[in-house]
Amino acid sequence: MAQLALEGGQPVRPHAFPARAHIGAEEKAAVAALFDEAIAAGAGPGYNGPEEQAYCDEFSAYLGGGYTDAVSSGTAGIYVALRALDPEPFGEVIVGAVTDPGGMMPIPLLNQIPVVADTLPGSYNTGPEQVSSLLTPLTRAIVVAHIAGEPADIPGIMALAGPRGIPVIEDCSQSHGASLHGRPVGSFGDIAVFSTMFGKHHSSGGQGGLVFTRDVNLYNRIRRASDRGKPFALPEGSTNALASLNLNLSDLAAAIGRIQLRKLPTIVGRRCEIVAELEAGLQGLHCISLPPLLDGAQSSSWFLRLRYHPEASRVDKDTFCRALSAEGLPIMADYSAALPHLMDWFVNRRVFGSSGYPWTSPEYVRASVHDPNRDFPCPNARAAVAAHFNVMFHEAWTSADIADTLTIFHKVAAAYETTHNT
């Protein structure tokens, strides 16, 4: 048996896996063209211009029709979506436990209490049962992230929220191009938010985001919320209609996003092919498996989540992952960085100075049907993070990269595997 690199042997993959190289000459040319126009005109490049409009129209078409506003980040998108709903202060917003901090922090910044929903057992995504147990008369909105590219049970959550008139925001930051029964994620909720920062499936340069809705009235509110309350679609003579921030995307970034959007189907398609090949090649192993997706779900695999079965191995997940890394495989052994409610800002309630607001506000303390300062243990989310690790692959991987990945898995499993998993 080959000696593990972790124990001094030769790594399977001494040279790095390829870079994504998803930004290229076309993006550069699009930005240069905009620069040329601006120089010729002696003005701009600007924002809220034709380039952003085209990007937004093309993205809306990609989602099957609707309206899109481009914003400065995914975090800004969540802020804008909530700001557009304009909830009365000291309500509650239910949010899945596994997300980026930017998917949760806008909630208390808008004087709403984040109520953290556990995940489905064995999943990074929350589900209807978990959300349902947290509904109260104070629930103002629900934020559902599709983590890792894997669709959450958004129809189940819509079925709960719709009859109660509770708006649902889909956080699709990690799931561009994923679908459920052929319908794209982002097209189920009242509003959908996509981060387009440079590491996402498709990007608008360094930072960016998109806020999508099928409701024109909501769209107009979204536009106001992302641009200091400007009176878009309000009667002539109206002035800025609500206090908000300036969270616009620039036209230069939109030009990059338009080119990237054209590449998105190929990017997602190639990711699906790579996962299918990895899945086939991992079949014989007992200590790792691909977790099942929901019925009818097609993941767009922002990364590949794998389950570790310690009962079929002599070592714990951490040692197994260290052995994979030592062989050269890019992985994230621990996804705790996606549990924002366990972080200092949340635990210490650091939102508005040392006041503890919004949790400690008299209005909320009076109205809350639970302990206003309660914790959210989320045992399923913690167990899912403990039981899985993430392979950080991408669409530029070649057949040789896939072959090396499988060699690494088989080498490490041969060293550590004991029995069949259950």
Ligand X SMILES: Cc1ncc(COP(=O)(O)O)c(C=O)c1O
Using CB under 6 A as the criterion, which residues of the chain lie in contact with ligand X when the complex forms? 73-75, 99-100, 102-103, 145, 171, 173-174, 195, 197, 209
What is the pairing mode between strands 183-184 and 179-180?
antiparallel
| Local structure of residue 249 (DSSP, 8 states) | P
- Both tokens of residue 235? 């009667």
Sign for the CA dihedral angle at 297, 380, 126, 177 comes to negative
Q: Which is nearer to ligand X, 51 or 100 (CB)?
A: 100
Smallest gap from residue 421 Cβ to ligand X (A): 29
Query: How far apart (Å, rounded) are the C-alpha atoms in residues 82 and 103?
Result: 11
**Other CB atoms closer than 10 Å to residue 399's CB: what's the count?**
9
What is 275-303 written as a DSSP string? HHHHHHHHTT-SSEEPPPPPTTEE---SS
Closest approach, Cβ 390 to ligand X, in A, equals 12
Of all residues in the shown chain, the one whose CB is closest to ligand X is 74
- CB-wise, 174 or 368, nearer to ligand X? 174
Give min distance, CB of 136 to ligand X, in A. 24
Nearest CB to ligand X, comparing residues 252 and 415: 252
- Which residues fall within 8 angstroms of residue 404, CB to CB, at 6 or more apart? 12, 13, 328
Smaller CB distance to ligand X: residue 204 or 220? 204
Amino acid (one-letter) located at 185 = V
Residue type, 152: A
Rounded Cα gap, residues 359 and 108, in angstroms: 8
Sheet strands (E) in 245-377:
288-289, 297-298, 304-308, 331-332
* CB of residue 169 to ligand X, shortest distance in Å: 10
The minimum distance between CB 144 and ligand X, in angstroms, equals 10
Cα separation of 380 and 390, whole Å?
A: 17
Beta bridge partners of 178: none
Of 153 and 171, the one with the shorter C-beta distance to ligand X is 171
Residue found under tokens 């905009």: 34
Minimum distance, C-beta of residue 148 to ligand X, in the bound complex (Å): 9
Smaller CB separation from ligand X, 200 or 263 = 200
Nearer to ligand X, 250 or 368 (CB): 250
CB of 280 to ligand X, least distance (A): 28
Alpha carbons 150 and 203: distance in angstroms, whole number: 19
Nearer to ligand X, 174 or 313 (CB): 174
Are the C-beta atoms of 146 and 115 separated by less than 8 Å? no
How many whole angstroms separate alpha carbon 391 and alpha carbon 302? 10
- CB of residue 402 vs ligand X: minimum separation in angstroms? 25
- 3-state DSSP assignment of residue 361: coil
